[in-house]
Chains A and B, each alone.
Chain A
Amino acid sequence: MAALEEGFTLSAVPLGAGPNGLLGVEQSDKTDQFLVTDGGRTVILYKVSDQKPLGSWSVKQGQIITCPAVCNFQTGEYIVVHDNKVLRIWSNEDVNLDKVFKATLPAEIYRIHSIQGTEPLVLFKEGAVRGLEALLAEPQQKIETVISDEEVIKWTKIFMVFRHPVLIFITEKHGNYFAYIQMFNSRTLSKYTLLLGQEEKSVIQSFSASVDRKFISLMSLSSDGCIYETLIPIHPSDPEKNQRVVRSLLLKTVVSGNARNGVALTVLDKDHLAVLGPPLPASKECLSIWNTKFQTLQTSKELPQGTSGQLWYYGENLFMLHGKFLTVVPYKCEVSSLAGALGKLKHSQDPGPQTVPHFVNWETSQGYGLGSQNSEQSKRILRRRKIEVSVQPPASKQLLSTIKKDSEKHIEVELCKFLAIKQTPDFHTVIGDIVLELLGRHKAEPSFYPRNSLMQLIQTHVLSYSLCPGLMEVALEKADVQMLQLCLQQFPDIPESVTCACLKIFLSISDDSLQEAEINMESVSDYSDSVQEEKMEEQTEILHNGFNPEEENCDNCDRELNEKPRDAAEETTSCPVIPKRAALLNAILHSAYSEMFLLPHLKDIPAQHVTLFLQYLYFLYLKCSENATMTLPGLHPPTLNQIMDWICLLLDANFTVVVMIPEAKRLLLSLYKFVKSQICICSELNKIEVSFRELQKLSQEKNNRELYSIEVLELF
C-alpha cells in the first residue's frame, strides 16, 4: 500500500528560486545527502534526515549556473556547469568555486548525467554525448551536431542496462517529439518519432521513464491531463532508420486538463507513479500517487502554496518545491498482505521493525493480488474502475482491428508491442479473444496462418484449451507438430480425443517432415550415449528362494525366447523412433488424461503405430530400469508411472490387435519377460524389507518394552 508520510521542508531559508524553480536535485555519493542547485548561483549539499545543509557553494556574481550540479560517483567530486560552457569540478573540502578546477568547453551543455557505476556523461545542447574523462582529456575537441536545427532538447534521463549506460533524450520541433536513445556499449544512437495518436494537438508537459530488460517505458503527461506510455525498445532492430513509436493511454485525467504549469510526473516503481498538479480545474495543486496496475489513486497530498512543476524521486524521498521551500515527502510502498487486508493484526499498531509478521506476500507471488484500499478511497476506486473499463480496450481493440486486415508480419509486430504492455487482470481473456480473432480470420481466408503469432500467444502461459477451442483443431489440420507439442505442454485441459488425435499425428508423420520442424527437445536426452553392454539376460538371472512360482510352459516360452531376446535386446537398446518424434511422444506422456475417456480413442490408432508406440514405451521402460532410482535422464523426462500407465492403456485398448500382429507378439513376449524379471526383483525386495522391518522392531522392543529390568547407570 503506497503511502505518503508527513513531509518536511529542507531549509528554513527560502531558496533563491527563480521563476523556473530549482535547477535540480541530485544524489551525492553518500546516501541521504543530496545536491540542490537553485536557479541562480548556488549549490547546496543537504543531509535530508537531519534536515540541514552540509555545505554551500556559489559562483561569482555575474555568472549563472545553467545545469544542476551532480556528483561523480567514481571520484566523489561534484561537477557543475555555469554560463553554459564552463565546467567546475570540486570536492567537499573546497570552499570557493572560483578556485577549483575549471574547464571551458566548445559547445553549450544541456545536462551532465551521473549515475552509480559509470563515469559522468555530458549531453550537449546539440545532442552530442561525451564521457567526462574523454572530454577533460581534450577539452577543445569538436562537438558534432546531432539534432536538427530548431530541435530543442526537452528532457533527458540516463539508465544502466546490463551495466552499460543508456541515455535517452526527447527533443521537440514544431510540436513534434523525437526520442533519441544513445547506447554506450554499442555506440549507437537511434531516433524515434513519438506519434501522439488522436490527441495530436496536445502538448507534452512532463516526462518520466523507467526501464526493464527490453524496453524503456516512457511516460508522458500531456496537456489534456492524461498519462501516456510509450515503449521504446532498447535494442533497435534497425538503428539507421527513423522509427515511429506510438503511445498508449495509461491513466486518464490525472490532472486538470487546463493546468498550464506546475505539472510533473515521476515513476516510483513498476506500478506506481507520482503526479504533481491540480487534480481538478479549480483545485489546489496536489501530489498524488497512482497505481497503474489497478488504475487507482493510492494517496494524495495537497500543496496549497503552489509548486513549480518539478518533482524528483530518490530512494524513498520525493523532492518538490512547495511555495518557496524545498519540501521532502517520504514515500513508502509497503507490500500489502492478505492477512493485513482481512485479519486483525495486532502488530499494525506498533511500528517496530521486528514485529513485521512474516506473511506471504500475495502480491508478488500471485501476479495481481488484492489491493487493500481503505474506505475513504473506495469512492475514488469505483470511479476509476469505470475508467479502467473504458481505458483498457483500445490497445487490444486496436490489435483486433489490425488482425482483421493487416499482414501477418505486421500483426506479429503489433502483437509484440501489445504483449510488452503490462498485464491487466483480464489479460487471459484478452489473449483468448486475440487467438479467436486470428483463427476466425484463418477460417475466412485459409492462406492466412499466423503461426508465429499463435506460438507467441501460447507461450504467454495464460491460454487454455477451453479459451481457444479451435486452435488445436487448426494445428491438427495443418499437422503443425511444433504447435501441438507446445499446446500439450501449456494447456491444462485438453480433451482426451484431441490428445489422441495428436498422438496419431505424432506417430504417423514422416521422419522427413519431422526433421524440418522445430521441436523442443528438452524431454529427450541422448539415449544413444548410454548404450550399455549388459544384455537383458543378466537381469533375468534371478535366484529363487526355494519355491519357484513359474509354470512349466512359461519356462518353455522363456527358452523359446532365449534366442530371440538377443536381437530384441539389441533392438531395444537403440531408440525405435527418432529423437524429435520421441520428444513429441513425451509430450503426450506428460499430458493429463482420464482413462475412461481416452480408451475408446486409442482403439482407432492403426496397428503398426500401436506397435511403434509400444516399442518406444518398452524402450523407455528398459532405460528407466537401468538405474536404481528408476528415472530417465534429461531435464523433464516422462516418469516410470506415466510409461507404465500408457503401456497398460495401449494394451487394454488394442489387445486383439497386438495379439494378432506377429511383430507385436514378439514385442509383447519380451515385454512380458522383462516385467516378470522385474517382479522377481520386487518380490525379493519385499522379503528383504520385511526382514529389515522385523529387525528394526526387535531392536526397538529390546529398548522399551520390558516391564522390569535392572540396569547399570553411571553418572558423570
Chain B
Amino acid sequence: MGEFKVHRVRFFNYVPSGIRCVAYNNQSNRLAVSRTDGTVEIYNLSANYFQEKFFPGHESRATEALCWAKGQRLFSAGLNGEIIEYDLQALNIKYAVDAFGGPIWSMAISPHGSQLLVGCEDGSVKLFQITPDKIQFERNFDRQKSRILSLSWHPSGTHVAAGSIDYISVFDVKSGSAVHKMLVDRQYMSVSKRKCIIWGVAFLSDGTVISVDSAGKVQFWDSATGTLVKNHLIASADVQSIAVSDQEDSFVVGTAEGTVFHFQLVSVTSNSSEKQWVRTKPFQHHTHDVRAVAHSPTALISGGTDTHLVIRPLMEKVEVKNYDAALRKITFPHRRLISCSKKRQLLLFQFAHHLELWRLGSTVATGKNGDTLPLSKDADHLLHLKTKGPENIICSCISPCGSWIAYSTTSRFFLYRLNYEHDNISLQRVSKMPAFLRSALQILFSEDSTKLFVASNQGSLHVIRLLEGSFKHLHTFQPQSGTVESMCLLAVSPDGNWLAASGTSAGVHVYNIKHLKLHCTVPSYNFPVTALAIAPNTNNLVIAHSDQQVFEYSIPDKQYTEWSRTIQKQGFHYLWLQRDTPITHISFHPKRPMHILLHDAYMFCIIDKSLPLPNDKTLLYNPLPPTNESDVIRRRTAHAFKISKIYKPLLFMDLLDERTLVAVERPLDDIIAQLPPPIKKKKFGT
C-alpha cells in the first residue's frame, strides 16, 4: 500500500470543558449537554450518538440548568441570571430573558411542558409561562431563605419540590406557598458539617421526594407528611445529581467520587406486589465529580468534570446485542478543530478562545516501518491569536497556501492575511467585513486559496473572492425556500468548480461555482453526515454518515458511482460498522485517484477502491506485515480497507504530500493531567 512519513503531533493542548448539565429528550431521542464554558451540544442518540449540533459558549454564561420543553424546545439558565432559548434550526440563541433573581441555580419544565420554573440565588422560585415564541413571567413562589439549588415537579403538575441549603420545600403550584419544609440532617458520619446542600431532588407520582445532598445521602421523603422515609448513605463526598426514569422504576445518582449508582424499584419477594428501592449497581466510569446524570429508557447517561460523556446501557433493557448495547465514552467533539496548510506545512489549532499556528518540523533521514526519524528541524509555534470578547470560537480555517486565516465567533467574523518573510511572520487583519458576514458555522478556502466559502447560520452560503489584502463578495447561495437549516459541513472540489454543503439532516447540496447555481442535491439519508470531501479529477463526492456508511457520488453524473453501489450491495464489514466514533475527515491522495483516506478517533483507513471488498469472514484489521506468507496468500487476503490503529485518540489526519502524513493525537493522560485533582480515595496498599 505504501510507506509514509508521519508527523506525529501531540502538542495540540486541547482540554475539553467539563460537563455541567445533561438533558435527555425522549421524543426525539436527543441529548443536550452543557459544558462549563457555556457550550451546549446536542447528541442524536438514534444516530450512533453523533454530536449533530452545538452552540458555542460564552465566558459570562455559566449554564447551571438545561431543560427540554414541549415541541423540542431547549432552555438553559445560568449564573448570569438569564434564561435562554436555543434555536435548534438556525443554531443560535433565540432570546435571553433575565429572571431578576440573581444567578439561577436550577430550572424545571412542568410535566405538561408549558410552564417553566427557575430557582434563584435570592431564594425565589419563579414561574414562567412558555408561549409559542417566548417565555412570560407569571409569578413568584414564597421566597425561601437561601438559594434554590434543585427543583422537581410532581408528575401531576400540582406540586413542586425545591432543594435548598439544609432543607427541602414542597410548594403548592396553585397558591405558590410552601406546604412542607423538610429539614435535612447535616451530620455526616456523626461529624457535623457546616451545611448540607441539596444538590438534586426528584418528585415521584406517589408523592415520594428523593433528595441527594452534599453529605453523601440519598433520602426518600414522604411529601404528604413531610417525613423522612428512608436514608441511603452512599458516598463520603457529595451526591451531585439525580435522574429518574419515565416509568419511575429506576433512578440514577452521580457522586463527587466519580461513582454512578443505579437504584431500582424491586419487589420485596419474587412475586409480591410490595416494592422497595434498592441500590443495585454502582458504576465507576468517571474519575472526577459526576455533575449531571440522565436516564434514557435504555441507558444511564452521566457526565462531569472529567469531560467524558458516558452512556451506560442497561443490559436488561437492551433487546438485542447491537450498537446500543455497548458502553460509550464520548470525549472529543465530533467536528474538526484543526486545519492544515499543505503547502507550508502549517497546522492551525482551534481552542475556545484562541488559535495556535504551528509549523511542522522536517527530517532528511529515512527509515523502515516503525522507526522514529531524527529531526533536522523541530516544530515551531508561530502564532498565538487570542479572540476579542467573551465568545467562544465557532470555527476556523487556514488557507491551503497558508496566507489566510479566518475564524468566527457568534457575533463576529475575522479574516487575517499572513505574510512570511524568511522566519518572520506578520499578521494583518482584513478590516471592514461586510455586514452579512457576522457569524459563520463553517469556513472553507478553495484549493488555490482564491475563494472563501462561509456557511452562515441563516442557511445561506457566501462565496467571497480573495485578493491581495482585500476581498470581494461574489455570491450568496440562499437556502431553499422554506428551510432554515444551517449548513455545518462544506467541501470544495480541488479544481474549484464544485461546492458541496450539508446540514444536519437534509441531503447534501452541490453548487456549481462557475455558474453560481445549485447543481444537484444528493438524496437525503437517515443518518447525519459526519464528513464530506470531493475527490480531485473525478469530482466524486465522498460522504461519511454517522452510521459508518460511506457513499461516493459522482457530481458530474449526478449519481452514485459504481463502487458505491457495489459496496452498498455487499455491505460494509461488520467490524467497520461497529466502530463507535464518526469519521471526521476525508482526504485524497494526489497521485492515486483510487485511494480515499479517512479517519475517526481510533483509526485511520485508506480505502483502495481497486482492491476487492472485505466480507465478514475476512480479517478487517491486520497490522502485521506479511513477512512469512507467500505472495499468493497475501494477494488473496488483500482487501480494500487498509487500517492503522497506531495513532489514538486521533483528532486530525491528512496527507501533506504523496509520502507524508500528519496525525494529531491527543492522549487522554495529558487531558487528565490538566484536570483538577479528583477526590482522594484511600486505596488498599497505598
Please list the residues of chain A having a beta carbon within 8 angstroms of any beta carbon in chain B.
340-346, 348, 372, 374-375, 704, 706-716
Among B134-142, B363-371, B510-518, the stretch that binds chain A is: B363-371
A345→B280 CA distance, assembly (Å): 12
Q: Which residues of B contact A714 (CB under 8 A)?
A: 1-4, 368-369, 625
Known: A707-B11, A711-B373, A713-B369. A342 touches B4 (CB 8 A): no
Q: Which residues of A contact B8 (CB under 8 A)?
A: 706, 708-711
A704's nearest neighbour on chain B, judged by CB, is: B667
Cβ A715 vs Cβ B268 within 8 A? no
Please list the residues of chain B having a beta carbon within 8 angstroms of any beta carbon in chain A.
1-11, 264-272, 275, 278, 280, 316, 361-363, 366-373, 375, 378-379, 606, 622-626, 642, 644, 646, 661, 667
Q: Which residues of B contact A711 (CB under 8 A)?
A: 5-6, 8, 370-373
Cβ B270 vs Cβ A712 within 8 A? no
Cβ B644 vs Cβ A344 within 8 A? no
Q: Which residues of A contact B2 (CB under 8 A)?
A: 714-715
Closest 6 CB pairs of A and B: A344-B266, A714-B369, A715-B1, A707-B11, A714-B3, A715-B642
Taking the nearest CB of chain A, how far is it from the CB of B48, in angstroms?
26
A374→B270 CA distance, assembly (Å): 8
Taking the nearest CB of chain A, how far is it from the CB of B146, in angstroms?
39
A714's nearest neighbour on chain B, judged by CB, is: B369
B271's nearest neighbour on chain A, judged by CB, is: A374
For A712, give its contact among B5, B278, B378, B606 (CB under 8 Å): B5
Cβ B646 vs Cβ A708 within 8 A? no
Taking the nearest CB of chain A, how far is it from the CB of B113, in angstroms?
31
For A716, give its contact among B1, B267, B367 (CB under 8 Å): B1
Known: A341-B270, A342-B268. A712 touches B9 (CB 8 A): no
Q: Which residues of B contact A715 (CB under 8 A)?
A: 1-4, 606, 642, 644
Cβ B371 vs Cβ A712 within 8 A? yes
A374's nearest neighbour on chain B, judged by CB, is: B271
Q: Which residues of A contact B3 (CB under 8 A)?
A: 712-715
Cβ A710 vs Cβ B272 within 8 A? no
A340→B362 CA distance, assembly (Å): 66
Among A341, A344, A348, A375, which residue has the most Cβ atoms of chain B within 10 A?
A344
Q: Which residues of A contact B661 (CB under 8 A)?
A: 713
Taking the nearest CB of chain A, how far is it from the CB of B373, in angstroms?
5
Taking the nearest CB of chain A, how far is it from the CB of B255, in angstroms?
23
Taking the nearest CB of chain A, how far is it from the CB of B500, in angstroms?
28
Q: Which residues of B contact A709 (CB under 8 A)?
A: 8, 372-373, 375
B274's nearest neighbour on chain A, judged by CB, is: A375
Taking the nearest CB of chain A, how far is it from the CB of B496, in angstroms?
30
Q: Which residues of A contact B264 (CB under 8 A)?
A: 344
Cβ B372 vs Cβ A710 within 8 A? yes
Besides A375-B269, A706-B10, A714-B3, 11 new A-B residue pairs in contact (Cβ under 8 A), listed by A number: A341-B269, A342-B270, A343-B267, A372-B269, A707-B9, A708-B10, A712-B366, A713-B661, A714-B368, A714-B369, A715-B642
Q: Which residues of A contact B278 (CB under 8 A)?
A: 342-343
Taking the nearest CB of chain B, how far is it from the CB of A349, in angstroms?
11
Taking the nearest CB of chain A, how far is it from the CB of B12, in angstroms?
9
Q: List 11 A-B contacts (CB under 8 A).
A: A341-B270, A342-B266, A342-B268, A342-B270, A343-B280, A344-B265, A348-B271, A708-B378, A714-B369, A716-B623, A716-B642
A707→B664 CA distance, assembly (Å): 10
A703's nearest neighbour on chain B, judged by CB, is: B372
Taking the nearest CB of chain B, how far is it from the CB of A367, in angstroms?
21
Among B3, B269, B363, B646, which residue has the most Cβ atoms of chain A within 10 A?
B269
Q: Which residues of B contact A707 (CB under 8 A)?
A: 9-11
Cβ A708 vs Cβ B11 within 8 A? yes
Cβ B272 vs Cβ A375 within 8 A? yes
Taking the nearest CB of chain B, how far is it from the CB of A683, in angstroms?
22
Q: Which residues of B contact A340 (CB under 8 A)?
A: 270
A374→B267 CA distance, assembly (Å): 12
Taking the nearest CB of chain B, how far is it from the CB of A27, in angstroms?
34
A715→B611 CA distance, assembly (Å): 14
B624's nearest neighbour on chain A, judged by CB, is: A716
A374→B268 CA distance, assembly (Å): 11
Q: Which residues of A contact B4 (CB under 8 A)?
A: 712-715
Cβ A708 vs Cβ B361 within 8 A? yes
A708's nearest neighbour on chain B, judged by CB, is: B379
Q: Which residues of B contact A712 (CB under 8 A)?
A: 3-6, 366-371, 373
B11's nearest neighbour on chain A, judged by CB, is: A707
A529→B2 CA distance, assembly (Å): 66
Q: Which residues of B contact A346 (CB under 8 A)?
A: 316
Q: Which residues of B contact A341 (CB under 8 A)?
A: 269-270
A706→B278 CA distance, assembly (Å): 48
Q: Which residues of A contact B275 (CB under 8 A)?
A: 344
Taking the nearest CB of chain A, how far is it from the CB of B498, in angstroms?
29
Taking the nearest CB of chain A, how far is it from the CB of B554, in angstroms?
27
Taking the nearest CB of chain B, how far is it from the CB of A1, in angstroms?
9
Among A345, A707, A709, A714, which residue has the most Cβ atoms of chain B within 10 A?
A709
A306→B11 CA distance, assembly (Å): 88
Taking the nearest CB of chain A, how far is it from the CB of B361, in angstroms?
7
For B269, give its contact among A342, A706, A708, A716 (CB under 8 Å): A342
A711→B378 CA distance, assembly (Å): 13
Taking the nearest CB of chain A, how far is it from the CB of B225, in angstroms?
27
A419→B265 CA distance, assembly (Å): 44
For B375, give its contact among A342, A345, A710 (CB under 8 Å): A710
Cβ A713 vs Cβ B6 within 8 A? yes
B378's nearest neighbour on chain A, judged by CB, is: A708
A393→B368 CA distance, assembly (Å): 85
A274→B145 CA distance, assembly (Å): 69
Taking the nearest CB of chain A, how far is it from the CB of B655, in angstroms?
12
Taking the nearest CB of chain A, how far is it from the CB of B369, in angstroms?
4
Q: Which residues of B contact A706 (CB under 8 A)?
A: 8, 10, 372
Q: Which residues of A contact B11 (CB under 8 A)?
A: 707-708
A710→B370 CA distance, assembly (Å): 10
Among A342, A706, A710, A715, which residue has the most Cβ atoms of chain B within 10 A?
A710
Cβ A345 vs Cβ B270 within 8 A? yes
Taking the nearest CB of chain B, how far is it from the CB of A644, in angstroms?
20
Cβ A710 vs Cβ B373 within 8 A? yes
A439→B6 CA distance, assembly (Å): 85
B265's nearest neighbour on chain A, judged by CB, is: A344
Among B8, B366, B622, B623, which residue has the most Cβ atoms of chain A within 10 A?
B8
A347's nearest neighbour on chain B, judged by CB, is: B316
A375→B623 CA distance, assembly (Å): 61
Taking the nearest CB of chain A, how far is it from the CB of B672, in angstroms?
14
A343→B11 CA distance, assembly (Å): 51
A715's nearest neighbour on chain B, judged by CB, is: B1
Cβ A710 vs Cβ B5 within 8 A? yes
Taking the nearest CB of chain A, how far is it from the CB of B365, in angstroms?
8
Taking the nearest CB of chain A, how far is it from the CB of B393, in angstroms?
23
A712→B366 CA distance, assembly (Å): 8
B638's nearest neighbour on chain A, judged by CB, is: A716
Cβ B361 vs Cβ A343 within 8 A? no
B605's nearest neighbour on chain A, judged by CB, is: A715
Among A341, A345, A707, which residue has the most Cβ atoms of chain B within 10 A?
A707
Cβ A710 vs Cβ B316 within 8 A? no
B634's nearest neighbour on chain A, judged by CB, is: A716
Known: A342-B266, A344-B266. A716 touches B375 (CB 8 A): no
A215→B370 CA distance, assembly (Å): 72
A348→B272 CA distance, assembly (Å): 13
B267's nearest neighbour on chain A, judged by CB, is: A344
Q: Which residues of A contact B624 (CB under 8 A)?
A: 716
Q: Which residues of B contact A342 (CB under 8 A)?
A: 266, 268-270, 278
Cβ B270 vs Cβ A716 within 8 A? no
Q: Which residues of A contact B646 (CB under 8 A)?
A: 713
A342→B316 CA distance, assembly (Å): 17
Q: Which residues of A contact B316 (CB under 8 A)?
A: 346
Taking the nearest CB of chain A, how far is it from the CB of B665, in angstroms?
10
Q: Which residues of A contact B626 (CB under 8 A)?
A: 716
Taking the nearest CB of chain A, how far is it from the CB of B664, in angstroms?
10
B269's nearest neighbour on chain A, judged by CB, is: A341
Known: A343-B278, A715-B4. A710 touches B267 (CB 8 A): no
